[in-house]
């Protein structure tokens, strides 16, 4: 699949840059947290004694934990405003941070509440824990939800996640929905802030039902609609470089997907051994009305099985996601820097970005240059440049430093720069670009290293 046509005109000049709504969304989330604290304040009289202080602090932690649970679910919903305007990588980091806040607040809530009750009753923590779990309404469900949240938190820790299969982590992570559902009811039955307070109760219901509606729509109904309408199947698989393969997917009315160069889908190939795993892969060419293409490097079990896909295999896709698109550019000059299979989204951008575009492609050797023929063809028809940074005859890597970048690309500080490649490479290039005077707002990169 190629979309290069030498008769086409070059892309138009860049549009006005679209501002990210990240700031307003964060402000809204923190305003919600402030509103939760205000809810506690309005319902709380004087706090007296050690027991009162501990119990009051436990109530605040519990309310904030309940709020964080709703935020956690909303951030999992893959809403387009978050995924495509703010960026999937940033939303993933917000979700990870919200998860850590949730677990910490949960631990604080349990510890403080039980300590306050124990101080008030003159009993041991163990006695209070047993009494609360067994005798208080909805606490057995809340305890089950708490144990699930702890399990999700443990498997999400970086050290643990590196040692577990992605499928195991993914399905344990989905249990977050069950945990939040189980823990919800005790908040209303035991929370003093909601007893006899219909407005506060209605707001809390609206918060949770709103988060649930986002998940239902964007993670269930929208993907079902997409796949029923577009009927995706594998058309063909092509070798691009050692361990790198392109998969062409055929479907109906694909131009209606709204997928843009630089974006990705989450792909589930309904073939043997692959149907239970959903993996993100970027589009490596602009969308055609009947064809999509991704380019994959064999790095794990799922990607290693991609070359074995047979034509006709059904495909389940979710998306498009990601904000590494033309919306980010603010200049008529753009530099794309790719390493390895990071060329995938940048190849699509290289064809379609407006203005003056240059591509720098880092690889071990000429045989590892995936999609190299297409890149050269695109460069010819649009009058762009492709430059390569290949290892020397003894394997020595060419340095990518501030000095080398300034020398190779005059006026670099006025460029927009898109970077895609392994995490370590992206960090190295980011540091070099900043040292070369490129403003942070003009360096565009999506990373899923949490």
pLDDT, tens digit, 9 for 90 and up, residues 167-194: 788 888 889 999 999 999 999 999 888 8
Residue 302: predicted pLDDT = 72
Please give the torsion angle defined by the CA atoms of residues 295, 301, 304 and 310, in that order, rounded to the nearest 10 degrees: -90
- Beta-strand relationship, 416-420 and 315-321: unpaired
Q: Taking 90 as the threshold, does the pLDDT of residue 274 lie above it?
A: no
The per-residue b/e assignment along 367-399, b for 16 or more CB within 10 angstroms, e otherwise, is ebbbbbebbeebbeebebebeebeeeeeeeeee
Q: Taking 70 as the threshold, does the pLDDT of residue 8 lie above it?
A: no
Query: For residues 327 and 17, is the Cβ–Cβ distance under 8 A?
Result: yes
Q: Taking 80 as the threshold, does the pLDDT of residue 27 lie above it?
A: yes
Q: Taking 90 as the threshold, does the pLDDT of residue 162 lie above it?
A: no
Of 92-101, 248-257, 311-320, the poorest mean pLDDT is in: 92-101
Residue 169: predicted pLDDT = 83
Look up residue 217 and give its DSSP letter.
Answer: I
Confidence band, pLDDT 50/70/90 cuts, at residue 391? confident
d(CA 450, CA 429): 19
Dihedral sign for Cα 327, 330, 333, 335, please. Answer: negative
- Beta-strand relationship, 264-269 and 315-321: antiparallel
Position of tokens 């604080």?
108
Q: Taking 70 as the threshold, does the pLDDT of residue 283 lie above it?
A: yes
Q: Taking 90 as the threshold, does the pLDDT of residue 335 lie above it?
A: yes
3-class SS of residue 435: helix
Residue 166: predicted pLDDT = 75
Q: What is the mean pLDDT of the chain?
A: 89
Tens of pLDDT, residues 55-113: 999 999 999 999 999 999 999 999 999 998 888 888 989 998 999 999 999 999 999 99
Look up residue 49 and give its two tokens: 């004694």
Residue 5: predicted pLDDT = 45
Query: For residues 338 and 359, is the Cβ–Cβ distance under 8 A?
Result: yes
Tens of pLDDT, residues 336-372: 999 988 999 999 999 999 999 999 999 988 888 999 8
Length of the chain in terms of residues written: 450
Look up residue 367 and give its two tokens: 């045989």
3-class SS of residue 77: coil
Confidence band, pLDDT 50/70/90 cuts, at residue 208? very high
Position of tokens 């499928």?
167
Residue 196: predicted pLDDT = 82
Q: In the chain, what percentage of residues exceed pLDDT 70?
A: 95
């Amino acid at each position: 699949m190629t979309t290069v046509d030498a008769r086409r005109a070059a892309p138009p000049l860049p549009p006005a840059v679209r501002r990210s709504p990240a700031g307003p969304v964060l402000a809204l989330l923190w305003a919600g947290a402030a509103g939760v604290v205000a809810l506690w304040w309005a319902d709380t009289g004087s706090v007296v004694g050690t027991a009162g202080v501990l119990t009051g602090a436990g109530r605040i932690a519990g309310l904030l934990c309940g709020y964080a649970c709703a935020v956690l679910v909303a951030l999992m919903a893959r809403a387009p405003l978050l995924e495509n305007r703010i960026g999937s990588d940033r939303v993933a980091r917000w979700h990870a941070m919200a998860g850590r806040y949730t677990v910490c607040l949960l631990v604080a809530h349990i510890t403080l509440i039980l300590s306050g009750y124990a101080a008030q009753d003159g009993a041991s923590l163990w006695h209070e824990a047993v009494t609360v779990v067994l005798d208080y309404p909805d606490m057995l469900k809340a305890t089950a939800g708490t144990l699930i949240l702890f399990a999700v938190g443990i498997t999400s820790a970086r050290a643990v996640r590196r040692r577990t299969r992605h499928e195991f982590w993914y399905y344990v992570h989905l249990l977050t929905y069950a945990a939040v559902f189980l823990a919800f009811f005790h908040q209303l039955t035991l929370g003093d802030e909601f007893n006899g307070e219909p407005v506060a109760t209605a707001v809390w219901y609206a918060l949770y039902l709103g988060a649930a509606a986002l998940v239902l729509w964007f993670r269930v109904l929208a993907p079902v609609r997409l796949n029923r309408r577009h009927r995706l199947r594998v058309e063909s698989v092509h070798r691009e470089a050692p361990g790198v393969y392109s998969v062409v997917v055929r479907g109906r009315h694909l131009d209606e997907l709204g997928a843009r160069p630089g974006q990705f889908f989450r792909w589930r190939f309904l073939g043997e051994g692959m149907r239970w795993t959903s993996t993100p892969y970027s589009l490596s060419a602009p969308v055609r009305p009947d064809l999509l293409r991704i380019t994959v490097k064999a790095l794990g079990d799922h990607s290693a099985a991609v070359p074995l896909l047979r034509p006709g295999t059904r495909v389940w896709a979710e998306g498009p996601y990601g904000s590494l698109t033309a919306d980010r550019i603010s200049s008529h000059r753009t530099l794309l820097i790719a390493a390895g299979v990071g060329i995938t989204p940048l190849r699509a951008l290289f064809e379609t970005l407006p203005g003056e575009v240059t591509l720098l492609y880092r690889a071990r050797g000429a045989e590892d240059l995936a999609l190299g023929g297409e890149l050269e063809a695109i460069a010819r028809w649009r009058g762009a440049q492709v430059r390569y940074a290949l290892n020397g005859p003894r394997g020595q890597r060419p340095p990518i430093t501030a000095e080398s970048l300034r020398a190779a690309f005059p006026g670099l500080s006025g460029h927009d720069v898109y970077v895609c490649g392994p995490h370590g490479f992206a960090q190295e290039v980011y540091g070099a670009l900043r040292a070369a005077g490129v403003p942070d707002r003009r360096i565009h990169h999506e990373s899923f290293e949490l």
